[in-house]
Amino acid sequence: MNAMKIGRLFRITVLLFVVASASSVCYGYSEGWINLKSYGVLSTNSGAVNRDHLQKAIDEASQNGGTLFLEPSADGYEIASGVVLKENVFLRGGSPVSPRGSKHPERMAPVGSLIRITDHKHPFISVQSATAISNIQFWYPEQTHADAEAIHVYPPTITLDRSGRVEGVTLSALTFYGEYETMDFRATADKHCELLLIRDCYGYPLSGQFITIDYCYDIPRILDCHVNPAIMRSFDRTYGKAMVDAVIRNQTYAYQIDHTDNAQLIDVFTFGTYGGILLGAESYGQLTNFNFDCVTIGIHKLGANTFNRNWMVAQGSIIANTGEDIQSIHPILVEGSGHLSLSNVEAFSGHNPALTTVGKSYGYLMVRDAGELTISISGARMANYIADNPIAKVNSDQAVITVATSFDKKNNVLSGTF
């Protein structure tokens, strides 16, 4: 074969490789992944048919381990609830994280690796050990976005398979539209979970509960997650004032942690929920770089002992401005025993047209019905509260609070022991 023919053959080979690679990159598809279309998961199928086909693909992939790919589609895929993601399976789509929703080019709907959920029978998907879900959008198209009296109470979108212990779950780059409760990881003492990682997830649950974790030992982590009623803005389903008010009336928390060892929460956000985060009596860990906006209670910490029911909280902002009455509005509420360290955590208030607001909080820190409790505060800015003193103790004579290099609502330096 002469040199000219060899050169031409080489150029053709390179061209074919580039075209094939470009096709793969277009959908985020990689060699070795299993396209769920090959199992009959199609945008034209009913939800029940697609669920059965998806479950078959999961069952087979679980035997050796594998990645199931949900190819982006203009219409998405209706899939009935009750899917079990079995061990060793990675369910992946090709959608990017969508903080304001994706948008169909011709109608008001999301588009991409999109799962449409229309039934109320079960949590959509239950996860077992050594599983992952990423780059998928979950949509409840029949959920109201304008009538607070007609909210559908759906089961959680993602939960644990409670038939046994669950160890090692990664959830990343997920977007949720119209869900009622987003992620429910409430385990039990005998069937607890471990090594749960949730990152880069966006939604606005109409129950007010985005991530709930209980009995998850060995460092659960929540990173870069965002809760906001404008999550569906791109396809014109942003929740109005009455809907946000209804969410707040549930008196739930966007993030809830209990029975955990050294939980890690970094860069978390919520807007328009009753509570930012509930730190349960049997938990300890670190919360850093956060914003809890338009809430009744920003941080609610409980504690069951003085040994290791301690939370280190730093670099955050709380806007507590809504609730039934101003006496119930607290940026930080602490009960029980243990320790809380607050470093560079500011609290201010004001009005917001997206919900009904009081516009002020009662104080900065309320300690109530506490046992042996210590709290240290440094670098705090406390503003827009009505109480004479930003720090209050009720039935908490044993609680010791120290403050350094902080400022009250009149810009006076606040320091000392309370």
Report pLDDT digits (tens) over 341-364.
999 999 999 999 999 999 999 999
Domain check: are 240 and 278 in the same one? no
Residue 96 pLDDT: 86
Asked whether residue 316 is assigned to any structural domain, the reply reads yes
- pLDDT, residue 13, reads 39
Listed residues 261, 293, 320: the one ending a domain:
261
Whether residues 191 and 282 share a domain: the answer is: no
Q: Is the domain of 123 the same as that of 171?
A: yes
What sign for the dihedral angle of Cα 258, 260, 262, 264?
negative
Structure tokens at 190: 């005998």
Q: Are 273 and 227 in contact (CB under 8 A)?
A: yes
Number of Cβ within 10 Å of residue 108's Cβ equals 12
pLDDT at 29: 57
Residue at 12 is within a domain? no
- Is 23 contained in some domain? no
| Domain assignment of residue 19, yes or no | no
pLDDT in the model for residue 30: 65
**Gyration radius from the chain CA atoms:** 24
Three-state secondary structure of the chain: CCHHHHHHHHHHHHHHHHHHHHHHHHCCCCCCCEEHHHHCCCCCCCHHHHHHHHHHHHHHHHHHCEEEEECCECCCEECCCCEEECCCEEEEECCCCCCCCCCCCCCCCCCECEEECCCCCCCCEEECCCEEEEEEEEECCCCCCCCHHHCCCCCCCEEECCCCCEEEEEEEEEEEECCCEEEEEECCCCCCEEEEEEEEEEECCCCCEEEEEEEEECCCEEEEEEECCCCCHHHCCCCCHHHHHHHHHCCCEEEEEEEECCEEEEEEEEECCCEEEEECCCCCEEEEEEEEEEECEEEEECCCCCCCCEEEEEEEEEEECCCCCHHHCEEEEEEEEEEEEEEEEEEECCCCCCCCCCCCECCCEEEEEEEEEEEEEECCEECCECCCCCEEEECCCCCEEEEEEEECCCCCEEEEEC
Q: What are the residue ranges in the chain where pLDDT is below 50?
A: 1-28
Residue 324: which domain range? 274-418
Flag whether 9 is in a domain: no
Say which amino acid occupies 109: A
Residue 182 and residue 118: Cα distance in Å, rounded?
Answer: 15
Asked if 241 and 166 sit in the same domain, the reply is yes
If asked whether residues 306 and 199 sit together in one domain, one would say no
Residue 4 lies in a domain: no
Q: Does the residue 97 lie in any domain? A: yes
- Residue 278 pLDDT: 98
The reply to whether 212 and 351 lie within a common domain is: no
Residue whose token pair is 């998850």: 216
Cα dist. 215→162, 220, 254, 345 in Å? 12, 10, 18, 28
Contact of 193 with 211, CB cutoff 8 Å:
no
Instruction: Using the Cα atoms of residue 33, residue 38, residue 42 and residue 48 in order, give the sign of their dihedral.
Output: negative
- Kindly state whether residues 225 and 88 are assigned to the same domain: yes
Interatomic CA distance for residues 93 and 407, integer angstroms: 48
Number of structural domains (the chain) is 2
Q: Are residues 350 and 288 in the same domain?
A: yes
CB 305 within 8 A of CB 278: no
Question: 207 and 318: one domain?
Answer: no
d(CA 143, CA 318): 30
Q: Any bridge partners for residue 209, and if so which?
A: 181
- Give the CA dihedral 50, 54, 55, 58, nearest 10 degrees: 180
The whole-number pLDDT of residue 217 equals 87
Please tell me whether residues 300 and 414 are part of one structural domain: yes
Here the tokens at position 128 are 């077992």
Indicate if 240 and 347 belong to the same structural domain.
no
Instruction: Report the alpha-carbon distance of residue 212 to residue 205 in Å, rounded.
Output: 12
| In a shared domain, residues 307 and 247 | no
Query: Does a structural domain hold residue 11?
Result: no
Give the domain-ending residue among 234, 261, 288. 261
- pLDDT tens, residue by residue, 89-141: 999 999 988 888 888 888 899 999 999 999 999 999 999 999 999 999 999 99
Of 237, 261, 285, which closes a domain? 261
